[in-house]
Amino acid sequence: MAFWLTLIGGLVATAGTGVALGAALGLTGMLILHFFSNGATSLAVDAIWSVFNSFTLSAVPMFILLGEVLLRSGISEKAYAAFSPLFRRIPGGLLHTNIAVCTLFGAVSGSSLSTAAAVGSVAYPEMSRRGYDKDTIVGSLAGGGTLGLLIPPSLSFLIYGALTETSIGRLFAAGIVPGFLVGAMFMAYLLVKALRNPAIAPRSETPVPLRQALAGFRQIWPLLALILAVIGSIVGGLATPTEAAGVGVVLAVIICSVWGDLTWQKLAEAVYHSVLLFTSVGFLVLGATILAKSASILGIPQQVLETVSESGLGTYSVLLIVVLIYLLLGCFFDGLSLMIMTLPVVFPLLTGLGFDPVWIGVIITIVIEIGQVTPPVGLNLSVLTALTNNEVSLGRVATATVPYWLIHLLAILLLALFPALALFLPNLLF
C-alpha cells in the first residue's frame, strides 16, 4: 500500500508542477528507489544505460527521420491522385481514398498524427470543394490516421519491442493483417453509410477505365518499392530494423530529391522535427525505465499477478479490465506516453497470464489508437480541427470518429477470439 501511495502521490505532485511526463515518471521512480530500496538510486543509471544502449532502440530515430523525409517531399499529393480513380464509382468515393492513402502513409510515417496531418491537408480542401459532408470527411481522416500506429513500421511497435525485448520483426509481421483488417472495416462502414445516405459523398458519373485507374500508380511506384524493401527486409530476416531504417533514409533522400520536391531546406526541417520527436519520446522512455526498475526491484509486477490470480478472475476478464483502464487513461494521455508509462506493470501481468508478448503488443497498439481519437487529448482530433480552419469544431470531429473507435473495439474482440489473426504471419515467417 505504501508503494502505491508513493507512486500515485509522486506522479500527482510532480506532474502537478507542470514538468514533462518523462520527468514525473523518473522523479517518482527515484523517490521509490530512495525510500523503498535503501537509497539504491544508482540502479536507475544502470537501467537507463541498458535501454539506451539497446541496438533495437536505435531504430526509432531512423524510422522517425524516414517518415519525416517522405512526408515533406510532396508525395501525399501524388499518392492521393494515384488512389482517387480506383474508388471514384464506388459509393463513398474519395472517403475510401482517405483510408487507402492513410494506410499507405501509415507504412511511411509510423505515426498516427503525421498520417492524419499529411493526408488531411490534401484531402479536406479537395473533398469540401466537391460537396462531401465535412463531418464525414474529418471522421474518415481521424480514423484512418490511427492506422499509422498499427501498419509497420510503427513507432508503437519499435518502442514496445525495445522496452519488452520482443522481436521487432515479429511485431511488424503481426501488425500487417490486423492493420489491413481495420482498414477494410473502415471502408465497409463508409460503404454502408454512403449507401444509406448518398448525399454525404457525391458520386462521379464519369467512367474510369481500369487501365487509366492503375496508371496513376506509376507516379508512386518508388514509394511502394521503398516501403516493401524496408519492411520486407525486416520481416524476411534480411536486415535488422536499424539497418533497414538507415538504408531506407538514404534511399528516401535520393528518391525524394529526384522524384519528389525534397530540398535542402525541407531535409533540414525533417532532421529538426525528427530530433524534437525522438527527444520527447526518449525522455519518456528514460522516465519510464527508472519507474520500471523501481517497480521490478520491489517485485510489484509479481505481486499484482499474484493478487489477480487469487481474485479468481479469468484471463480474459483481466484483459477486459486492462483494456478499459487504457480507454479511460487514453482520455488524458497521448498514446505513446500511455504505453510507455504502463508497460512496466501491464506487460508482466499479461505475459504471466499466458498471453503471447507479440499479441499483447498488437492489442495495446490498437487500444492506444483509440486514445488518438478520444477527447479531450485525442491529438488526431485537434490536428483535423486546425486543418479545417475550425469549420468543423472539436466536438463535431469527436462525434464523427465514434464509429471508428467502435470498429477498433470490434478488432480487439476479433483478435481475442482469433489470436491467429495477429500471430499467423509471425509464426509463418519466424
pLDDT of residue 360: 92
Residue 415 pLDDT exceeds 90: yes
Mean pLDDT computed over 309-319: 77
Q: What is the pTM of this model?
A: 0.79
264-297 vs 21-36: helix axis angle to the nearest 10?
A: 20
- Kindly report the number of other CB atoms within 10 A of residue 282's CB atom: 17
Per-residue pLDDT of 216-274, as tens digits, reads 666 677 777 777 778 778 777 777 777 888 888 888 888 878 777 778 888 888 888 88
Mean pLDDT computed over 309-317: 76
Report the distance separating Cα 118 and Cα 104, nearest Å.
11
pLDDT of residue 418: 92
Mean pLDDT computed over 417-421: 91
- Which of 344, 346, 219, 345 lies closest to 288 in space, CA to CA? 344
Query: Residue 41 phi/psi, 5° resolution?
Result: -70, -20
Residue 70 pLDDT exceeds 70: yes
Query: pLDDT band at 128, cuts 50/70/90?
Result: confident
- Which of 241, 125, 112 lies closest to 172 in space, CA to CA? 241
Domain boundaries, the chain: 24-429
**What percentage of the chain exceeds 70 in pLDDT?**
81
Q: Which string of DSSP letters, residue by residue, matches 86-107?
A: GGTTSTTTHHHHHHHHHHHHHH
Report the distance separating Cα 46 and Cα 416, nearest Å.
37
